[in-house]
Amino acid sequence: MSRPQRLVFAVLAGAVVLTACDSVEDIFVKRTPGEKLYRKLCADCHGLDGAGNTPRGMGNPNNDLIDGNWKYGGDAGSIENIIRTGVFAEMPAHEELTDAEVRQVVDYVLKLRGESR
């Protein structure tokens, strides 16, 4: 195989690997299913670290998930309910998530707060 052929092969092989991942980072960083869902559905407002310091989240103290000050209850059951039903004019409901997926997100939010269930 010539050098140009090896280069093309390497690029195509890399492309095949990347199509199976959400991002290049997924190849190197192992994330829990809850963290993946959180990043996809929640991080725009609540931030990757849960502190709410995002362009969409700033100015709304309810977006800080790690401060321990929860308007709608910070226990696991309340968080599950908020994820499922949303908060009018503040957060969309995520009715598309299964019970297991909701629990995974809750577990990740608790982990951000330094807690576990």
- What CA–CA distance (Å, rounded) separates 64 from 41? 15
Contact 32, 108 (CB under 8 A): yes
Q: How does pLDDT run across 59-113, given as a tens digit for each residue? A: 888 999 999 888 888 999 999 999 999 999 899 999 999 999 999 999 999 999 9
Q: How does pLDDT run across 4-16, given as a tens digit for each residue? A: 676 665 665 565 5
Q: Where are the domains of the chain?
A: 1-27, 31-112
Q: What is the DSSP letter of 25?
A: H
pTM of the model: 0.76
Residue 26 pLDDT greater than 80, yes or no: no
Angle, CA 25 vertex, CA 21 and CA 28 arms, to 5°: 95
Q: What is the pLDDT of residue 22?
A: 57
Core vs surface per residue 35-56: b (16+ CB within 10 A) or e: bbbbeebbbebbbeebebebee
For residues 9 and 50, the model is more confident at 50
Could you tell me the fold of the domain covering 31-112? Cytochrome Bc1 Complex; Chain D, domain 2 (1.10.760)
Q: What is the pLDDT of residue 98?
A: 97
- What CA–CA distance (Å, rounded) separates 83 from 103? 10
Task: Give backbone dihedrals phi and psi of 4, rounded to 5 degrees, phi first.
Answer: -60, -35
Q: What is the pLDDT of residue 12?
A: 57
Q: What is the pLDDT of residue 117?
A: 72
Question: Which amino acid would we find at residue 61?
Answer: P
The Cβ of residue 81 has, within 10 Å, a number of other Cβ atoms equal to 14
Task: Give backbone dihedrals phi and psi of 19, rounded to 5 degrees, phi first.
Answer: -65, -20
